[in-house]
Amino acid sequence: AAVGAAGARGRTTRTRTDAGLTTCWERQRRSELRLSLLALREQIPALAANHKAAKVAVLQGATAFIREARADERRLLKKKDELTKRSRELQRRLERLQAPQ
């Protein structure tokens, strides 16, 4: 049975089966989105225990967490570069001290 009839402008009719499929797909999309938000929330230490966190809070928390992680990464890379430079300096100094005189 048709939900809507073909109009004067040539619209196609939409059957209940089509509407049911659309509803099913939308329900599945919302379920996948909900599961993704739950998984994301679990990865955010500040929100992992908050089972009632709103979607916007999860997204804002994830954004803040990513910013902090990037800042930590930059700081650690800078420290690594400093330590690598120091290691090279010490290696050269050791080589000079071990060289025959």
What CATH number has the domain bearing residue 55? 4.10.280.10
Q: Whole-angstrom Cα distance, residue 35 to residue 24?
A: 16
Structural domains in the chain (count): 1
Residue type, 10: G
Domain contains 2: no
Domain contains 1: no
Ranges 16-30, 34-48, 73-87: which has the least confidence: 16-30
**Which alpha helices (DSSP H) does the chain contain, by range?**
16-42, 55-98
Does the pLDDT at position 7 exceed 90?
no
Higher pLDDT among residues 100 and 41, named by residue: 41
71 HSE (CA, 13 A, CB side): 6
70-101 pLDDT, tens digit per residue, is 999 999 999 999 999 999 999 999 999 998 87
Domain contains 7: no
Contacts of residue 50, defined as CB under 8 A and 6 or more positions apart, other chains included, come to: 41, 57
Angle at 29 between CA 3 and CA 64, to 5 degrees: 145
pTM: 0.67
pLDDT (average), residues 23-39: 96
Please, which residues bridge with residue 2 across strands? 15
* Domain interval for residue 61: 13-98
2 HSE (CA, 13 A, CB side): 8
- What band does 1 get if pLDDT is binned at 50, 70 and 90? very low
